[in-house]
Amino acid sequence: MALAVFSITYLVAGAIFWVVMALAAGERARMFKGVSPGMLPPLGIIFGLFVAFIAAQVWGDIDRANAAVNREASALRTVVLLAASFPGESEAQLRELTRRHIEEAVHNEWPLMAQQSASLRVLPLSLGEALQLTLALAPQGDGQVSAQRELVTALENAMDARRQRLIVSRSSVNGVKWSCLFLHAICTLTAIAFVHCDNRAAAGIAMGLFATGIAVSILLIAAHNRPFSGNLAVKPDLLQQVMPESRN
């Protein structure tokens, strides 16, 4: 990704440079030089605001994704711990249903989330069965009554966290935002070329520096654009850590 982003950015900057320099002759050169250098700071500031605006969404999505996974893992860990309050078959079933849910999330849901194709229409069957099992328990004593109540709350929290995880997996920077960012970057590079059209070396250095800043900004946003895909994606490690061992 880094190679593609930097290569395309430098190619676009180079194309703008050569086109402007080729046209900067005679009357056109005077016209280009008429562009005020005072335009460059506002253009740079606006580009920075574009980057900050888009990055805010990206970082927010990453935070929401991490929070959802953390909350789901915490809720499932609570289920595993409280299941011990109902020793025997009930505990074994709750542990097995929790393990099945985590396996389903890791092996089936995570690849779908990476492709942004996970759907809320697919119900968490294991969690649903665990909730039904918990509600059907006949608690004996105040301890089991409290444990049953906490189990229901933990399972509902796990379901809600899963919903949030699936919702945020479909989030990404839309095409309008990308188009505005690219168009403004091209305008700024063109303005730099106009201002320095009488000095090719200065124009090349200035455009090269700004093109590097553009590439770094785009790479940073693109690398985090989809919370559950790519090398920097949110992983299911926390869910795997709380997975109960099979006792079969």
Classify residue 97 by burial, with Cβ atoms within 10 Å: 0-12, 13-18, 19+. buried
Residues 55/220, Cβ–Cβ less than 8 Å = yes
Give CA–CA dist 209/125, Å, rounded: 54
Instruction: For residues 125 and 165, state if they share a domain.
Output: yes
Instruction: For residues 114 and 61, state if they share a domain.
Output: yes
pLDDT one-digit tens code per residue, 134-181: 988 888 888 889 999 999 999 999 999 999 999 999 888 888 999 999
Given this model, what pLDDT does residue 22 score?
84
Measured CA distances, 198 to 22, 29, 185, 205 (Å)? 11, 8, 22, 13
Whether the per-residue pLDDT at 69 is higher than 70: the answer is yes
Instruction: For residues 119 and 217, state if they share a domain.
Output: no
Instruction: For residues 164 and 184, state if they share a domain.
Output: no
Confidence (pTM): 0.82
Residue 41, in any domain of the structure: no
Instruction: For residues 210 and 235, state if they share a domain.
Output: no
Given this model, what pLDDT does residue 247 score?
58
Give CA–CA dist 60/187, Å, rounded: 28
Residue 43, in any domain of the structure: no
Residues 183/45, Cβ–Cβ less than 8 Å = no
Residue 45, in any domain of the structure: no
Classify residue 124 by burial, with Cβ atoms within 10 Å: 0-12, 13-18, 19+. buried
Residues 95/83, Cβ–Cβ less than 8 Å = yes
Residue 22, in any domain of the structure: yes
Instruction: For residues 158 and 178, state if they share a domain.
Output: no
Q: What is the number of domains present in the chain? A: 2
Instruction: For residues 111 and 205, state if they share a domain.
Output: no
Longest dimension (CA), the chain: 95
Residue 192, in any domain of the structure: yes
Residue ranges making up the domain that contains 12? 2-34+173-223
Residue 48, in any domain of the structure: no
Instruction: For residues 190 and 237, state if they share a domain.
Output: no
Residue 17, in any domain of the structure: yes
Given this model, what pLDDT does residue 64 score?
93
Instruction: For residues 133 and 75, state if they share a domain.
Output: yes
What average pLDDT does the segment 207-226 reach?
91
Residue 47, in any domain of the structure: no
Instruction: For residues 65 and 158, state if they share a domain.
Output: yes
Q: CA-based angle 30:31:32, to the nearest 5?
A: 90
pLDDT one-digit tens code per residue, 116-131: 888 888 888 999 999 9
Instruction: For residues 129 and 84, state if they share a domain.
Output: yes
Q: Which of 238, 219, 216 is nearest to 65 (CA)?
A: 238
Instruction: For residues 202 and 111, state if they share a domain.
Output: no
